[in-house]
Amino acid sequence: MRQGQIHGCDIMECSICKKEIEKKYHNGKMYWDSGHNAEPVKKGRCCDKCNNEVVIPTRIGIYKYKRFQEENV
C-alpha cells in the first residue's frame, strides 16, 4: 500500500512490520520500489527483512506440511 510521497516518490509501507519498503538502486537509478509479495502471511507487499525472515520460512513450512500430509495419507 502506498502511504505518501517524499520528493515526488511514492513511499510503500511493509504490510507486516509497517516500516518503509526499501527502494533498489543500480548505478544511482532506482529500478524497483515495490518490495515483495507478502502472501501467505498478509495481503500486500513486504520489505526485504520480512520477506527473508517471515514470508519465505512460512512458505517453506506450508510446502513441507503439505508434502508430509501427502506422504502420510
Q: What is the pTM of this model?
A: 0.80
Query: For residues 4 and 13, what is the distance between their CA atoms, to the nearest angstrom?
Result: 9
Nearest to 24 by CA among 16, 8, 12: 12
Reported as a single tens digit per residue, the pLDDT across 8-67 is: 567 899 999 999 999 999 999 999 999 999 999 999 999 999 999 999 999 999 999 999
Residue 70 has pLDDT above 50, yes or no: yes
